[in-house]
Amino acid sequence: MAIQWYPGHMTKARRLIAESMPSQDVIIEVLDARMPRASENPVVAELRGQKPCIKVLNKSDLADPAVTTGWLRHLEAEHPAPSEATREATPGGKVLAIAISATQSSEARRRIPELCKRLVPPKNGPGKVVRAMIVGIPNVGKSTLINTLMERKVAKVGDEPAVTKSQQLVTLKSGMAISDNPGILWPKIDDEASSFRLAVGGAIPDTAIDYQSVALFAAGYFLRRYPELLVARYKLKGLPETASALIEEIGRRRGCLRSGGAVDLHKASDILVHDFRAGRLGRISLEEPPGLEPPSGIEESA
């Protein structure tokens, strides 16, 4: 399933980000902790060049904590701190990674400015503000993070893609200037598993995707990786053998029936996907760092 959802405002957003890049000291790239690689936009890497960057694995309250720890280790290994002795520049500039939950404010408020200070040498003199720019794909919590850092609601937040339509600049109490930006994707997302993960997580509007195959992907993955959470949530007697059998069973248990008694698969798919997005299934990660691959055995879309 290749995704080609690239509304006009994203072209404009990309241009705005590119134009503001030279004046920035640090880039705050918000990722979805449940899928740090799938939610990493190659366009951000391209526009950022060597600018220092904080990779914020947000929504970590919804992600599997052991997998998030694995991702932080993986990112650390990928972006080692430059050695003090040689001061060699690392490819892609200095990068630090943290896992937070932007909705749990105290931690984000303390740690983000702390990391910015580690990456950007203090500037002296009046008017020398540190400038940071928040970027990332849609619906990862960029606006929520800026509201948390500001300690009040300055940016509109919503559980759907494309809520933020223009750039917004705010100044923190510490004097640091931060801009929020609309989420950007890349024009053609052709890695199939990444497309599915992005769709399951809600980075792409449900109307722009083949919803049923997205739910089948999710069902197959949850069966393989988090069967006990499915059993608990849907009070299953046994574990269905295939993804489609799971969706049917959810439909039957929740009374999603058409006239004649057939299961309404669209409604049942909706229940599964929205339960995941809201964290009602429990803490789930959709993607493992290399080396922590899930067990195989259940077909994804039988």
Rule CB under 6 A: which residues touch ligand GDP?
A: 58-59, 61-62, 101-103, 136, 138-144, 157-159, 163-164, 183, 279
Q: Are strands 53-58 and 26-32 parallel, antiparallel or unpaired?
A: parallel
The least distance separating Mg ion from the CB of residue 157, rounded to whole angstroms, comes to: 7
Nearest-CB residue to ligand GDP? 141
Q: Which is nearer to ligand GDP, 185 or 268 (CB)?
A: 185
For residue 95, what is the enclosing H or E element? Answer: strand 95-99
The least distance separating ligand GDP from the CB of residue 162, rounded to whole angstroms, comes to: 8
Q: Which is nearer to ligand GDP, 158 or 294 (CB)?
A: 158
Distance CA 60, CA 282 (A): 12
Q: Which does 269 bind (CB under 5 to 8 A by kind): ligand GDP, Mg ion, none?
A: none
Q: Which residues have C-beta within 8 Å of that of residue 51, sequence separation ≥ 6? A: 21, 24, 25, 26, 27, 93
Q: Which is nearer to ligand GDP, 141 or 240 (CB)?
A: 141
Q: Which does 194 bind (CB under 5 to 8 A by kind): ligand GDP, Mg ion, none?
A: none
Q: Are strands 53-58 and 95-99 parallel, antiparallel or unpaired?
A: parallel
Q: Which does 144 bind (CB under 5 to 8 A by kind): ligand GDP, Mg ion, none?
A: ligand GDP
Cα 85 to Cα 82, 89, 95, 134, 223: the distances in Å are: 9, 12, 18, 32, 49
Q: Which does 283 bind (CB under 5 to 8 A by kind): ligand GDP, Mg ion, none?
A: none
The least distance separating Mg ion from the CB of residue 43, rounded to whole angstroms, comes to: 17
Q: Which is nearer to ligand GDP, 58 or 285 (CB)?
A: 58
Q: Which is nearer to ligand GDP, 166 or 301 (CB)?
A: 166
CB 33 within 8 A of CB 285: yes
Where in 156-185 is the site for Mg ion (CB under 5 A)? 164
Q: Which is nearer to ligand GDP, 123 or 165 (CB)?
A: 165
Which of 41, 143, 195, 244 is in the footprint of Mg ion by CB under 5 A? 143
- DSSP for 15-71 reads HHHHHHGGG-SEEEEEEETT-TTTT--HHHHHHHTT--EEEEEE-TTTS-HHHHHHH
Question: Is 60 among the residues that bind Mg ion (CB under 5 A)?
Answer: no
The least distance separating ligand GDP from the CB of residue 161, rounded to whole angstroms, comes to: 7
126's tokens: 């009046």
DSSP code at position 90: P
Q: Which is nearer to ligand GDP, 70 or 141 (CB)?
A: 141
Q: Which does 227 bind (CB under 5 to 8 A by kind): Mg ion, ligand GDP, none?
A: none
Cα 81 to Cα 62, 73, 102, 223: the distances in Å are: 28, 13, 25, 38
| Footprint on this chain of Mg ion (rule: CB under 5 A) | 142-143, 164
